[in-house]
Amino acid sequence: MQPGLPTIHISLSQFLPLRAAQALSFEPGTHITSTGALATRSGAKMGRSPKDKRVTRDPETEKDLWWGPYSPNYVMDDRTFLTNRERAVDYLNTLERVYVVDAFVNWDPASRLKVRVVTSRAYHALFMSNMLIRPTAEELANFGEPDFIIYNAGAFPANKYTNFMTSQTSIDLSLKHKEMVILGTMYAGEMKKGVFTLMHYLMPMQGKLSLHSGCNVGAEDDVTLFFGLSGTGKTTLSADPKRPLIGDDEHVWSDNGVFNIEGGCYAKCIGLTEEREPEIWKAIKFGTVLENVEIDPATREVDYESQKFTENTRASYPIEYMANARIPCVGGHPKNVILLACDAFGVLPPVSRLTLEQAMYHFISGYTAKVAGTEVGVTEPQATFSACFGSAFLMLHPYKYATMLAEKMAKHGTTAWLLNTGWTGGKYGVGKRMSLKHTRAIIDAIHSGELDQAEFVTTPIFGLQVPTSISGVPSEVLCPENVWGDKNEFATTLNKLGHMFVKNFEHFHDGDAFVGADMAARILTGGPKPLPEDNVAKTGFNL
């Protein structure tokens, strides 16, 4: 930044009222809701722009990063990065006011980094103050130079004629300069996920596994990690009133245990009710940022069912707003890892115990399914895969993260489970959604140790280990074929899903270059073994 650019450092006790007042004063369309939260609009972009994310390629890091057609890392050179940074800084220097946030990432002191955010919008400053770890007054006074800087000039467009640009939006990360530049989008989530992307490089390079997961802890200090894409129940199931929350989204597993990367939570708001998610409902108060929600101008009440602006409505709040948050946000080594899939085909069991090889395979797959009606043209369930349950944020090859996961699980005796929170008794439109009551009973049985003593049977095609009984769950539900009316159709659908997994895994054919041929082959043994479709048509349920 140029000398003379106005920056003001203030104490945490002053921060929330000041930033809220600044947003109300200087940002049209910003309001205080009936519960005291700040409701605002992000502009034309109401979600991330993954196709516009760029990573600079430089000799120091390029050998470690995952490049190629299926990688989320679209390349740019250093000169273009510096050009975009200059454009962002020039724009910020023309403004009457900019907002600066100095804060930390990583609750483990040994891994803590200093982050500085420079932005043109007050709501962005409040958002990142919520999402990062807030320094004390003393820490702020002695903050010094940051380890990473975000220049958010999202109100100003990128020059689409610049090399490597495909639009007027560009989100650029330089590992060499330890900087991020944002142009052409004011969606606040780009900052949060930019920091997470950086951690997906820095932490594994130190032997620490970065994870896109929720995390909670029990009375016996037993830690559970929850992985799952949107709609699988990750946020709901990790926010358990009986188990303190370590974090809702971003964690690192180090030699000392797990720790949260962030200082806040970022919850989807669509369909939010006090009955379904009481902890999140109560967290939406003064200091919380609500993005792109519709509010009643007279009552100031939020319509959480409304998709007037977007389905991707969001709430950002400090983790302390969760009544059962564990502060500091650290825990021991995980006892259980739970992979959540909303299987709209209705063929996966409600719960399966995974081998280490299966854990790696399903972690890399990151499977869930879209249901009919969620997008234009979607009339049948569609399989969706996101590597490591967060493909857009990966810096290294998925095999690298999966191998680290298996190594840590083996060292610390961690058990992996695959839970289907989707359909049972048939695919979407025929069967019904898995009972939340039964899913919670399954998770309780995992945490109590009941499933450690259970008897298991093996499923066809996927080779999953399924318990024969669980307290509070009807036994017939545990094996999905039992509740399908047409057993042959079940077999055909299960086999079809197996082929989808295998086809998706072709994206990672180059994994042996990152983990070695032996480990790559071992990972593949954890996948399904689908049969030729003609064979299934002949044998039917007798797979």
> Domain residues of the chain, as ranges?
7-43+52-321, 333-526
Checking 212-215 for CB contacts under 8 A at 24+ apart, the result is 212/249, 212/250, 212/388, 212/389, 212/390, 212/393, 213/249, 213/250, 213/251, 213/389, 214/238, 214/239, 214/245, 214/247, 214/248, 214/249, 215/245, 215/246, 215/247, 215/251, 215/258, 215/260, 215/331, 215/334
**pLDDT at 441 > cutoff 50:** yes
pLDDT at 376 over 50: no
C-alpha separations of 533 from 115, 345, 477, 487, 511 in Å: 53, 17, 26, 16, 28
* Mean pLDDT of all residues belonging to the chain: 92
Asked if 314 is an active-site residue, the reply is yes
Residue 507 bears catalytic tag: no
pLDDT at position 231? 83
CA gap 515, 522 in Å, rounded:
11
Given 249, 313, 335, 408, the catalytic residue: 249
pLDDT in tens, 176-192: 999 999 999 999 999 99
- Active-site residue among 230, 306, 355, 492? 230
Is there a catalytic annotation at residue 240?
Answer: no
CA distances to 74, 170, 229 from 52, rounded to whole Å, are: 8, 5, 21
Is residue 4 pLDDT above 60, yes or no?
no
**pTM, 2 dp:** 0.93
Domain 333-526 belongs to what architecture?
Alpha-Beta Complex (3.90)
Looking at residue 329, what is its pLDDT? 98
Q: Is the pLDDT of residue 378 over 70?
A: no
- Annotated catalytic residue 235: yes
What is the pLDDT confidence band of residue 209, given thresholds at 50, 70 and 90? very high
Q: Give the fold, CATH level 3, of 7-43+52-321.
A: Phosphoenolpyruvate Carboxykinase; domain 1 (3.40.449)
Query: Could you give the CA distance from residue 314 to residue 308 in angstroms, rounded to a whole number?
Result: 14
Model pLDDT, residue 519: 98
Within this chain, domains 7-43+52-321 and 333-526 share the same CATH topology: no
Q: Which of 119, 235, 439, 493 is catalytic?
A: 235
pLDDT tens across 341-374, in order? 999 999 999 999 999 999 999 999 999 998 754 4
Q: Averaged over 519-531, what is the pLDDT? A: 97
pLDDT tens for each residue of 70-107: 999 999 999 999 999 999 999 999 999 999 999 999 99
Three-class secondary structure of residue 536 per DSSP: helix
Residue 29 is predicted with a pLDDT of: 81
Question: What pLDDT is attached to residue 370?
Answer: 81
In the predicted structure, residue 416 carries a pLDDT above the cut 70: yes
193 is an active site residue: yes
Q: Which of 38-52, 170-184, 373-387, 427-441 has the lowest mean pLDDT?
A: 373-387
pLDDT > 90 in the chain, percent: 85
